[in-house]
């Protein structure tokens, strides 16, 4: 991940762009007490939805899924972007044990994307099909922790 400063929000993120053109940006408070994060996804318009698995796989951890809904997103002729506060995304308990990303210097994340749009693009509760693309990466959480959170 590399450092990215968003001039619109004034927030600094740890950012990575994958080969499919989708960018994932994470911002964390320097001393978190509430297990929250800010997630920004920037995607080419030919990608209809994208997801982030906070634990590096699709089960037993929080998932964040986004698409261009026209609400809470921005879009232009080439890309759509979602910026959201993800409450409770950095700490969880599962059959795998307890996880606290706030105390780690890096984390294994997973992504999934699809070119098939959700059933109802204007609804954040819409059903959507299985992903066509997926992968994992190790994200630098030291860069993500910053005062601009």
Question: Looking at residue 6, what is its pLDDT?
Answer: 94
Sequence ranges of the domains in the chain: 2-144
Question: Looking at residue 69, what is its pLDDT?
Answer: 81
| Per-residue model confidence as pLDDT tens digits over 49-101 | 999 999 999 899 999 999 988 666 789 999 999 999 999 999 999 988 999 99
* φ/ψ of residue 148, rounded to 5: -75, -5
Stated pTM of the model: 0.92
Average of per-residue pLDDT values in the chain: 92
140-149 burial, b if ≥16 CB within 10 A, otherwise e? bbebbbbeeb
Helix (H) or strand (E) holding 46: none
Q: Checking phi first, is residue 72 left (phi over 0); if not, alpha (psi -120 to 50) or beta?
A: left
- Out of 27-31, 37-41, 69-73, 74-78, the most confident range is 37-41
Fold of the domain built from segment(s) 2-144: Immunoglobulin-like (2.60.40)
Quote helix, strand, coil % in the chain, to nearest 5: 5, 50, 45
């Amino acid at each position: 991940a590399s450092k990215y400063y968003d001039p619109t929000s004034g927030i600094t993120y740890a950012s990575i762009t994958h080969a499919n053109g989708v960018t994932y940006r994470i911002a964390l408070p320097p001393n978190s007490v509430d297990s929250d994060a800010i997630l920004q996804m920037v995607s080419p318009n030919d990608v209809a939805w994208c997801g982030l698995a906070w634990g590096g796989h699709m089960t037993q951890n929080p998932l964040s899924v986004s698409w261009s809904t026209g609400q809470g997103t921005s879009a232009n002729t080439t890309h759509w972007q979602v910026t959201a506060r993800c409450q409770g995304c950095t700490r969880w308990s599962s059959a795998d044990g307890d996880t606290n990303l706030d105390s780690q210097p890096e984390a294994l994340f997973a992504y999934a994307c699809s070119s098939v749009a959700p059933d109802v693009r204007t609804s954040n509760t819409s059903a959507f099909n299985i992903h066509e693309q997926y992968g994992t990466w190790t994200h630098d959480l030291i860069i993500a922790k910053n005062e601009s959170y």
